Amino acid sequence: MLDRFKQDVQRWVVPQQVADPSLVTFGRTLKLLWLHKPLRAMLWLRFGSWCVSKHIPLATSMTMMILYYFHGLEIAPTADVGGGLYIAHPQGTVLSAKRIGRNCTVIHNVTVGMRNEWAFPEIGDDVFIGAGARVLGGIVVGDGARIGANAVVIQDVPAGATVVGIPARVIATAEDQA
């Protein structure tokens, strides 16, 4: 729990970037928790994940309620979420993914979840998901992908690609950006 939360805090030292781990001190962590409600949501998420690992079901349920009612974030503590998750504005955000990789950035009012069948997306490492985007179905979003604001993603996204539109289409690949 603490390792992943420390990685979350690293994303808030310099927002949306991964800071040097030596910059994450106890005092700085307390200050960031005081100033940034979304980081407090990440603390609750990590606490809920810890409760799941220790088989404390009541605390897990309470954590889900706190995340939803106080932070506007729907995410299950049972989710496999890598460290360094940065959710700029959790209100109206639903994250029901099979997996969310390390150092992902989610802006505001994003939905990640199932489409027509009981299959959920897999989000790779270092993925950026813009405001209002929808990532739906049993698809895979590759490492380093960028999803534009209000995009509706219903097909796999290659690693390093940028997608926009409804339905989302690739406008740039990793090779284009190199």
CATH number corresponding to 92-178: 2.160.10.10
Does the pLDDT at position 15 exceed 80? no
24 pLDDT tier (thresholds 50, 70, 90): confident
* pLDDT at 178 (0 to 100): 60
In the chain, what are the domain boundaries?
1-74, 92-178
- pTM assigned to the model: 0.91
* pLDDT at 18 (0 to 100): 64
Q: 10 Å Cβ neighbour count for 159?
A: 16
- Per-residue pLDDT tens for 45-96? 999 999 999 999 898 889 999 999 999 999 987 889 999 999 999 999 999 9
3-state SS, residue 97: coil
**Separation of alpha carbons 53 and 86, rounded Å:** 22
Higher pLDDT: 130 or 28? It is 130
Q: Residue type at 153? A: V
